[in-house]
Structure 1
Amino acid sequence: MPGIVDTHVHFFNPRRPPWSLQQLGRVSGPALRALPGPLLRVASRFTDEHSMSGVAGHGLLTSRYLVREYGKDLAGLASVAGVPVTTVMPVDSLWRRRLSPADTAEAVARDVDTLAALPYGDGMPALGGMIVPADERLPGLGVQQALDRDDQGLIRGVRLRWGRHGDRLVHDWSGGSGALRSANLREAIGPLAERGLVLESLCYSHELGDLVAFASEFPEVTIIVEHFGSPVGVFGPVGSSTGTTAAARADILGLWRERMAMLAMRENVLVKISGIASPLLGYGQEKSGNIGGQHILADMIGPLVLHVVDRFGPDRVIFGSNAPLDSHNATIGVTVGALLDVLGDRGDYLLAQFFAENARRVYRIGEPGPNGSAESNGASGPD
């Protein structure tokens, strides 16, 4: 492998805007920054629905996670993979389910400004670009302000978080159904694709049939399925009733396999193999993590990863760590090591494409962005 491109990392600091107001809702930014650490953690336990609904491990969103913290998490990677993470791509970390339409565009633009100013390079991975959140309630999906302010051309895609689940304790990413039928999405998707931007989809496995139809209707749009389709509860109980029996888990797996095979027939669709240690998959409820190590994770996730790779082929799969949301279950080193255990005998070409080259091609890393800039090898700013 020539090095690793990590296409799915969440950077945030809950004590600073724009993330602070997303983290604790009604608590103002200055008040939040004044909270002592213990009180911040207590408050977050009552307001952080992402941890409570299984999106992240308990307490992971109460402390900052920026370039320096990410670098520490990469410490054990070299001994596992033999190569470093050379390039990183942050995705949005605006944690509230929904901002008001009036606040969304400004929050997205501020998120981009803040992420771009972090100190990449100089011993840390370079910044290859970023993925910003799309909001189907807004004209232009609410990203035009961010694009106008993106002087460095760092925005390489938009992320539509539209997943909704029937289990009331599993996080809903959208306030209503029908996101893929939104007039705003359908009007904006063509112009965004003309700018070279990809569309990333965050939904649940039972919704993938709708994505099949959407991908067929818009073959000119490159679509990336995040977290390999999120088969919630495939390994164990999640929420109030999802995946509680072996029969239920078999049904989840069977439907997911069928839908992924259908998506593979759409040549404009790729899969981001990320979130393989996500609590949403049903690894258990232990707060300290419960996968047990690299080889156990490889045994569990292996059949799903191979199904994706066999259906989509080596040129349509992309790696993402989902750091730090899964870190209580698996470190980045364990995640990469498990994937190497699963895919290592498939040859050097697959490993190079999956861990680096597909991302460089699809996100045009190292090439001029929509506003004319190329990949940033470092930036100055407060960490």
Structure 2
Amino acid sequence: MADLTDTTPAQTAHPDWLDRLPEQVVDPHLHQWDPLTTTREVSREARLFRPFQRVPRRLNRLLPRADREFVGDAHHVLKPYLPHLYAEDAGVLPVGTVVHIEAVWPHEPHLESVGETRWLATLPFGSSGLPRLGGIVVHVDPRWSDAGAVLDAHAEASDKVRGVRFSAAHHPDPAVRDFSDTPAVWSEPGFLDGFAALAERGLSFELWGYAHQLPEALGLVERYPETTFVLDHFATPVGVLGPRGRHTGRYPHQVRDMLASWREDVSALAAHPNVVAKMSGLGMPVLGGDLRAAAVDLADLPRERRLVDAVAPLVQHVHASFGRERTMWASNFPMDKPTLTLPATLGILVEVLGDEADLTALTRDVASRVYRL
């Protein structure tokens, strides 16, 4: 996304707001994986590229369009992403605690999903200056007849289990990547009934789907008022920054209509006090933009007005709808890595919000309360 023709002198990579951060901040959304030593969806491909320090970018052209436009750069999913790499990416941000969000670990049979929780316990979080692992959000499908037993097995494997994510993302554009097998899973009777297994155990739930799916979440949120729901990634409005798929975001009127509906739907969710918002995912390639561009860093943000102006409506509306006490920053690394550096995932929020950003609440207090850190 960076404008390589811009000759404006680079700004400092240490803006003043960095000095106003808490001594340690919380990153409540990162993923870890190692397709070389654990069985993952891309393990076979990852082993083919093991001899290469970097997976060639030209490989992206071989991926199906939906995958290419979702991941942006295959390197980040074919190579291990482990605590020391995250710490390098965090750079100037003083991340002291992280929350791990499930990362598509195999779950057939369903108890296999517990392998991810056990694997996380083997990683060196909290040692040698690395951030500590404060919480784990696991994968469970409430439609499973054994959902309760799987949740109990996760809890037995780790006392850090705090919540559940079932990715509901499903898009009408056939060239946008789906993560759910059905388009309206949040409102399915089996999902609504089975969700009781999560609610009874006091777990939070990550609401991640695409923007047009937000209305489907209202019934779930209303039925379980004692459960904390976390709206992830601004509900990922596909194509808001540029065309994606076969026909999404190709015309200005499409984007205007999408944003109008998105605003109404976000406001409707925010009216429920058991919903909080995670301001993350602004670097997800599926939002649109140049897949070949270098990642924008803190020093680039003052000059990246097109990017800042494009995401400002999302940031401002979520902040206004949920308020300081129900909004938190998260990096979503390494999924945002093709587009933004990790410090820039926070920097872009500060760039938009300015003095409205309560950095202590945004980077520590809300996440600590939601995930009981």
- Answer yes or no: same fold by TM over 0.5: yes
| 1:285 counterpart (281, 284, 291) | 291
Q: Is the 8 A contact 1:13 1:63 kept in 2?
A: yes
Larger mean Cα displacement after TM superposition, 86-95 or 326-335: 86-95
Counterparts of 1:1-383 in structure 2 under 5 Å?
1-2=21-22, 3-19=24-40, 22-24=41-43, 27=44, 33=47, 36-38=50-52, 41=55, 46=62, 51-75=67-91, 77-78=92-93, 84-94=94-104, 102-106=108-112, 108-122=113-127, 123-141=129-147, 144=150, 147-148=153-154, 150-286=156-292, 288-289=294-295, 293-295=300-302, 296=304, 297-346=307-356, 350-365=358-373
Q: What code does the residue aligned with 2:86 have? A: Y
Between the aligned partners of 2:71 and 2:194, the Cα distance in structure 1 is 29
Q: How far is 1:145 from its partner? A: 5.8
SS in 1 for 2:308: helix
Instruction: Write out the 4+ residue segments of structure 1 that deviate beyond 6 Å after TM superposition.
Output: 47-50
Gap change, CA 1:141 and 1:47, over 3 Å in 2: farther
Count of paired positions = 345
Q: Is the 8 A contact 1:132 1:157 kept in 2?
A: yes
Residue-by-residue CA offset, 1:108-140 (whole Å, 9 max, x unaligned):
111111112211113111111111112244124
Q: How far is 1:171 from its partner? A: 0.7
Counterpart of 1:371 in structure 2 is none
Q: Is the 8 A contact 2:205 2:229 kept in 1?
A: yes
**Runs of 5+ unmatched residues, structure 1:** 79-83, 366-383
Q: How far is 1:149 from its partner? A: 5.8
Q: How far is 1:51 from its partner? A: 4.0
Between the aligned partners of 2:48 and 2:103, the Cα distance in structure 1 is 21
SS in 2 for 1:315: helix
Residue-by-residue CA offset, 1:46-66 (whole Å, 9 max, x unaligned):
568774242443322111110
Between the aligned partners of 1:35 and 1:319, the Cα distance in structure 2 is 33
Gap change, CA 1:221 and 1:49, over 3 Å in 2: farther
Gap change, CA 1:34 and 1:218, over 3 Å in 2: same
Give the alignment's TM-score, normalised by structure 1. Answer: 0.82
Q: Is the 8 A contact 1:137 1:184 kept in 2?
A: yes
Residue-by-residue CA offset, 1:256-288 (whole Å, 9 max, x unaligned):
111101111111111111101111111233254
Between the aligned partners of 2:86 and 2:138, the Cα distance in structure 1 is 19
Between the aligned partners of 1:103 and 1:40, the Cα distance in structure 2 is 33
Counterpart of 2:5 in structure 1 is none
Between the aligned partners of 2:220 and 2:136, the Cα distance in structure 1 is 24
Q: Is the 8 A contact 2:199 2:226 kept in 1?
A: yes
Gap change, CA 1:230 and 1:141, over 3 Å in 2: farther
Give the alignment's TM-score, normalised by structure 2. Answer: 0.84
Between the aligned partners of 2:208 and 2:259, the Cα distance in structure 1 is 18
Q: Is the 8 A contact 1:140 1:184 kept in 2?
A: no
Between the aligned partners of 1:44 and 1:199, the Cα distance in structure 2 is 35
RMSD: 2.7
Q: How far is 1:321 from its partner? A: 0.3
